Amino acid sequence: MSKTIKVALAGAGAFGIKHLDAMKIIEGVEVVSLVSRDLEKTKEIADKYGIKHVTTTLEDSLALKDVDAVILCTPTQMHAAQAIACMQAGKHVQVEIPLADSYQDALAVVEMQQKTGLVAMCGHTRRFNPSHQYVHKKIRSGEFNIQQMDVQTYFFRRTNMNALGQPRSWTDHLLWHHAAHSVDLFAYQCGSPIVKANAIQGPIHPALGIAMDMSIQMKAANGAICTLSLSFNNDGPLGTFFRYIGDSATYIARYDDLVNGKEEKIDVSKVDVSMNGIELQDREFFAAIREGREPNASVAQVLPCYRLLGELEQQLI
């Protein structure tokens, strides 16, 4: 494919804006349609980014013949059905994490991808962050092997707000969203499937209806272990912190920053063409479309993560 890839983006919230900013600097890509709930706000964003078609329904965007691909930044509960609808309409699709909030729905997306042969990937951004790419390359070269990962995912969200501090129309979830990042990353970095996992959770929030604290333990087939702590009750510092303990080094990653066990900074600026994980994720999506290949973080590759999340959910009932 040599022509410009024309994209519809659904969901103009915090993460939708991150994708719009990323696509502005990727050659051969044009966002031609923007979908979101609030028409007036969506028009304002569309005007800022030079997007001509604005709508409140995904169906309107899918009906546009010149749309080649769709990026979904919509509420979690809509992801699987919308991804399937995109592929049924003949569009390549990238779904922001999580792919679904049940294993059966995630499996249905994979089955539709296999049926259509279209490119379908999920926004497991940690696979693309330069800090984690640096560690991944050390593992691939045989210089480093994970013995243990310790991951802390901490936010302060006692009310239903998004990353921009705006009210959400849906409820986020520690297991199906935030744990998905680390469950997938652990198996991906180890290059070994997860064979044992346990989960416990704290009290259910009376208004939000979700657990605000959770702990997960995992073991990979190669013997590596991972401990994951998650909280919506933590009043700072916020974010996710990854400690890789290996046979030859210790690495501590936070988003795109990486230090060794002595807190000495490691330069990851030359690991890839950008320091922006969302941009690198989008670049992979469009490259896979052009090259007619399976992308890193394809829906098939991340399916084991959702199978495990489903099993952990059963432990939490």
Average pLDDT along the chain, 317 residues, taken 10 residues at a time? 89 95 98 96 97 98 98 96 98 98 98 98 98 98 98 85 59 89 98 98 90 96 98 92 98 94 97 97 98 98 98 94
Q: In angstroms, rounded to a whole number, what is the distance separating the alpha carbons of residues 231 and 122? A: 23
CATH entry, 5-124+277-297, from 3.40.630.30, 1.10.10.10, 3.40.50.720, 3.40.50.300: 3.40.50.720
Q: In angstroms, rounded to a whole number, what is the distance separating the alpha carbons of residues 122 and 128? A: 12
pLDDT of residue 165: 63
Residue 283 host element (H or E): helix 277-291
pLDDT of residue 163: 57
Q: In angstroms, rounded to a whole number, what is the distance separating the alpha carbons of residues 290 and 214? A: 40
Domain with CATH 3.40.50.720 in the chain: 5-124+277-297
CB 244 within 8 A of CB 190: no
pLDDT of residue 125: 97
Domain with CATH 3.30.360.10 in the chain: 129-271
Q: At how many degrees (to 10) do helices 103-116 and 79-88 cross?
A: 10
pTM of the model: 0.94
Please determine, looking at this structure, whether the domain spanning 129-271 carries the CATH number 3.90.1150.10. Answer: no
pLDDT of residue 209: 87
Tokens 């994979």 appear where? 110
